[in-house]
Structure 1
């Protein structure tokens, strides 16, 4: 059983349809390292999805970026509104970003689309 600090499967976006919905009908916020798409989905809970393409870098770099994003959502999910689907697309600049820079940018982007408080 996952602990309270886990990133459980029911909070992950995995289906192509969910990603497409966020891309088409969600609000968008653009930063230097990430693009966030946020779609309100009533009674479906808070869910997160990531897209990190090969344009970002090698497999090692892409996996590091995904780890940073998972850790951000794991530690900040209490400050994010329920019933939102969030898709984060990493841009090539994410390859050179450290964890602290990722956190600052994600907090700013989610604040712009008004889903993160605190």
Structure 2
């Protein structure tokens, strides 16, 4: 589970990230990323609409997305706000696919913006 310091909690925070953040689309999710002060805790938010499926399926998708983001925090990710919106195809996606997609979104952000907020520093070669 993500600690309170690593969660987006207000509607204003969600709105800010979605409207002003960099958008990275995948097969099962659309991620919005916005830089924060260097060293600030990474914060994550999740949007899983009823189009994804029943409450049981939506909660399963949300738990998987949270677990993927928890791994990123454990690896030392800082200085970014991320909102992950699950698309209807996320309902049938397996855990490795969702995890890889969240990681790819963060790495794409790192390449585009040249941020060193993810372990390993700067853009990839």
TM-score class normalised by the smaller sequence = 0.7 to 0.9
Runs of 4+ aligned structure 1 residues displaced above 4 Å come to: 115-118
How far did 1:25 drift?
1.0
Equivalent in 62, 65, 68 of residue 66 of structure 1: 62
> Per the alignment, do residues 55 and 76 of structure 1 end up closer, same or farther by CA in structure 2, a change over 3 Å counting?
same
* Structure 2, gaps ≥5 residues long: 111-116, 121-125
TM-score of the superposed pair, with normalisation by structure 1:
0.86
User: TM-score if structure 2 supplies the norm length?
Assistant: 0.82
Q: Which has the higher contact order (CA 8 A, sep 6+)?
A: 1
Cα distance in 2 for partners of 1:117, 1:94 equals 27
Gaps of 5+ in 1: 1-5
Per-residue CA shift, 1:80-102, capped at 9, x if unaligned? 64121000000000000010111
Is 1:21 aligned to 2:33, yes or no?
Answer: no
Rounded Cα–Cα distance in structure 1 between residues aligned with 2:76 and 2:89: 25
What CA distance in whole angstroms lies between the structure 2 residues aligned with 1:80 and 1:92? 30
* Residue 41, structure 1, aligned to residue 25, structure 2: no
The RMSD of aligned alpha carbons is 1.8
